[in-house]
Amino acid sequence: MSIEIQPALGAFVDWVRTTDKHATTRLALLRRVDLALGGNGGEQVPDELRRELAGGLEKWRYELLDACGGRLCPEDRGLCDALDLAANELLGRAVRAPRWPPGWFGECTDRLTTR
């Protein structure tokens, strides 16, 4: 039995659209990731593309962490978790809990102006 604890990236589309000044680019990346993770009708995705997409997700994750200065609101924390786990899945690694750098917990103080 498989239990999905973390929300999928798709659950954050509206959040990204309304809060991220780079929403157009981020949403395009999410569409590409969705295709690579099975939304492409079962076609095999080249490893190079999977690595490129995983790198894009990881870059976004660290940009989000930096923008909030380590003080994340619950939505951003969930998004960071989903970005980390999707990158892990793209790379074909074993299922694991989301990774977190030490000291990155808290609340985002001014969500709409930090990006």
Mean pLDDT by 10 residues, the chain (115 residues): 62 94 96 86 83 96 83 87 92 78 50 43
pLDDT of residue 115: 43
Is residue 99 within 8 A of residue 84, CB to CB? The reply is yes
Is residue 71 within 8 A of residue 104, CB to CB? The reply is no
pLDDT of residue 30: 94
Domain layout of the chain by residue ranges: 22-96
Alpha-carbon span 83 to 58, nearest angstrom = 7
pLDDT of residue 97: 67
Is residue 91 exposed (0-12), middle (13-18) or buried (19+ Cβ within 10 Å)? middle
pLDDT of residue 57: 96
Whole-model pTM?
A: 0.79
